[in-house]
A and B are shown apart, each in its own frame.
Chain A
């Protein structure tokens, strides 16, 4: 019987992290930001039906980058978690922080105990009841690390460069059109342009009623990006 070779735990973790990062870097990036009247989630996504951004609950949205089937499974679990909680307690008791925590512990669990880590980075965004100061973005990494942002965050492979570009244009008093243009420009970088057809975007805004999530339609995107 052969004995397995000893591998240092540091090496195991490093290999897994490299594996996950490589998987995530293969896809396109995504920006989540808080603007004057809500939260914008904006991604480069040529597909019209395989969404990266979706609704979780009245004031909560989900976004994921990396391997589609993996973040989509997390998205569905999030909808189940939120709907179950809202049904068992009340709609007011559903919050992004607790959802971000269960996501984080699940991702952390898979990262340390399973054969392969999930190749995803996800974002849980919550529109605050009095918007500014309370709106939050929870950025969760493949290993369960949670970062809580109150301005903007970038998910995906090239996040540092995109974040630098977006940060130069960003202010929390931006209008939706300004935020969207800045996000698309930052995602594209200096050498490329992204057409409106390759952009997927959605907002959380109080003007949408109880369910604050709204996907921006193709015509709306074209109009906002052109103006």
Chain B
């Protein structure tokens, strides 16, 4: 690998993505979209984010499905994008995980080259541009639809952004959930957010409850698996940054949530 030095007039600047394009390493290759059978690959399912007293809580289940098969039981869908923001992914798992890796590098690259961190709005727009660059793949059924949340240092507040496959960015006031179990998760979150913002433990509890509800109604969403010790990934993003909730704490919360649901829906 040689030293990537460019002329000042056509320097790619602080964008890692632009640098990759210049040296012919862009992951979004300009593939011709060929009509045909959609490719069967693992898909990630339910992810959610909502605001609570200290910032934002973000969560995702652990299941990836391929058609009617369970492809992976322990896949992770919630990642730290940098110290103060997180990204959760739903959709085709391969391109999604790759996009997260590129996004993480892009944010760190900007920070190192420029010496300052991008604003939260700037990070959200960058992610939108990457989703748009993935549009040809999305047309072939490999869509990536992430959620992005982070702590905005300028406004001193947690913020949530949702996207569509074309890279359209939509800021959410209170919550969002996407993926195949998103609708079911949304119902639970909506019912749980009323009046004052929740504290940390109530927020984590609500996130796990929403995922449990989704896992009961949607076959592609996995609930907490007490036998194998597989729990949803839950993270809080606050003034101190992105912090993943440890598995021990999640296990206890998952047990409580399942216990509290005993007899719910008249046993049906």
Contact = CB atoms under 8 A, between A and B. Distances in A.
A86 B113 contact: no
Interface string A92-133: 000000100011011000000000000000000000000000
Nearest to A58: B108
Contact of A102 (B3, B25, B102): B3
A185 B20 CA distance: 44
Interface in A55-74: 55-56, 73-74
B126 interface: no
A84 B25 contact: yes
Q: At the interface, is chain B mostly helix, strand, loop or mixed? A: helix
Contacts of A55: 112
A29 B252 CA distance: 57
B105 A83 contact: yes
B58 to A, nearest CB: 20
B2 A83 contact: no
Given A51-B115, A55-B112, A56-B112, A87 B102 contact: yes
Nearest to A76: B113
A28 interface: no
Interface residues of B, number: 18
A85 to B, nearest CB: 6
Interface string B197-212: 0000000000000000
Interface string B98-128: 0001100100110011010000000000000
A36 interface: no
B101 A87 contact: yes
Interface size range on A against B:
20 to 34
Contacts, number: 54
Contacts of B105: 83, 86-87
A88 B1 CA distance: 11
B1 A54 contact: no
B109 A83 contact: yes
A119 B1 CA distance: 24
A79 interface: yes
Contacts of A81: 1, 3-4
A80 B19 contact: yes
B219 to A, nearest CB: 35
B115 A79 contact: no
B151 interface: no
Most buried by A among B5, B108, B113, B115: B5
Interface of A: 49, 51, 54-56, 73-74, 76-81, 83-88, 98, 102-103, 105-106, 211
Given A76-B113, A83-B108, A84-B25, 18 more contacts: A49-B115, A51-B115, A54-B115, A77-B5, A78-B3, A79-B113, A80-B19, A80-B113, A81-B3, A83-B109, A83-B112, A84-B1, A84-B20, A87-B101, A98-B1, A102-B2, A106-B3, A106-B5
